[in-house]
Amino acid sequence: MNYCPNCGAELRAGAKFCPTCGYNVVQDEPIENESAEAATQTTQETFKLELEQAEGLNITRAAIKKRAQEKLSGRYGEWCKTIILLIVARFIAGFLFQIAYVHFFANGMLQLFSVFMPYSAYGYGYNYGYGSPYASFSLFLWFLLMIIAIILIFLIAALSTAVLQWCAIHTLRGNRADGLKIFAYFIKSQKDRILKANILIAIYTFLWSLLFVIPGIIKSASYAMTNYLLEKDDRLSASEAILLSRQIMHGYKLEFLILRYSFFFWHIATIFQVTNFYVMPYQNVTEIQFLDMLYNHYVAQNK
């Protein structure tokens, strides 16, 4: 049984007005509906998905470069031996590839020529032995040497990145940047995790680069912190460091790429090789300075 909230008179079922005083007994319902709607809206707003936005590091590229130059002041000479060894290694690998490629291409053309024109007009052999089994074996050896040279170029490119980044880390920490000792440390004390990580990065980047280059450039930024993390924590495996690098670099890849390609005109000058002794230390220390600040920022956010 319902009663009027105003006068207390008895109300029939479904009545909207009190028959005694005329009070509107349903006037409070909209308020209740509004409260329910407000509660529903509040609940929806509480569980609304908000995308996390990456926060900047609140520092300019010029400031990062200035700090890197301060760290390198009077220490460029420490890098000379490392840079010379890298230049020599790249030159030898490139020279081997060129020699193997030229001989393979030349012998291959002569083999093909000997198949279609085995004899001269005077009845003498045209091929001078190029159609013999020995010539085929020689062609195979030049092909094998060319493949070895390509693998060597690939390994030098992958490991030179690791050596240069570790040299930059040592420079930031005030230690001597000796690339030869660092490479020996990779081989003897790191259980191949440095070699494995950098080879995997090179393979992943190459495969992504097959998709019109741009994805490879973006992925190179994702993997940029791998060597820094491997040096920071010797318990990380190669795959763990790559995964963590991708996680930390999320939202900061563009900033890193802008910083990296701000050295574009310096790289044009490195065709003379002499400027490598300035550009290589400068760029690598600058990038590691950025990664170091980003790592500290990440740690502060994820305590």
Look up residue 24 and give its DSSP letter. B
What is the pTM (predicted TM-score) of this model? 0.71
**Residue 79 confidence (pLDDT):** 94
pLDDT digits (tens, 9 = 90+) for 132-146: 556 677 788 889 999
CA distance 65 to 39: 53
User: Which of 97-101, 258-262, 264-268 shows the lowest mean pLDDT across its residues?
Assistant: 264-268
Report residue 111's pLDDT band, with 50, 70 and 90 as the boundaries. low
Is-contact 201 158, C-beta < 8 A? yes
Q: Read off the amino acid at residue 98.
A: Q
Give the C-alpha distances (Å, rounded to integers) separating 112 from 106, 119, 135: 10, 13, 12
pLDDT digits (tens, 9 = 90+) for 30-80: 444 444 444 444 434 343 333 334 456 778 889 999 999 999 999 999 999
Q: What percent of the chain has pLDDT over 90?
A: 52
Q: Is the per-residue pLDDT at 16 higher than 70?
A: no
**Residue 113 confidence (pLDDT):** 62
Give the E-state strand segments of the chain in sequence order: 2-3, 10-11
Q: Is the per-residue pLDDT at 122 higher than 50?
A: no
CA distance 174 to 32: 70
Over the chain, what is the mean pLDDT?
80
**Residue 71 confidence (pLDDT):** 93
**Residue 246 confidence (pLDDT):** 95
Alpha-carbon dihedral sign for residues 105, 147, 153, 203 = positive
Q: Is the per-residue pLDDT at 245 higher than 50?
A: yes
Q: Among 29-33, 191-195, 229-233, 266-270, which range has the highest average pLDDT?
A: 229-233
pLDDT digits (tens, 9 = 90+) for 174-225: 899 999 999 999 888 887 899 999 999 999 999 999 998 899 999 999 999 9
Higher per-residue pLDDT: 167 or 302: 167
Tell me the three state secondary structure of residue 101.
helix
User: Which of 17-31, 96-110, 122-136, 141-155 shows the lowest mean pLDDT across its residues?
Assistant: 122-136
| Three-class SS of 167-188 | HHHHHHCCCCCCHHHHHHHHHH
**Residue 58 confidence (pLDDT):** 79
Cα–chain-centroid distance for residue 133? Answer: 47
Report residue 104's pLDDT band, with 50, 70 and 90 as the boundaries. confident
**Residue 114 confidence (pLDDT):** 62
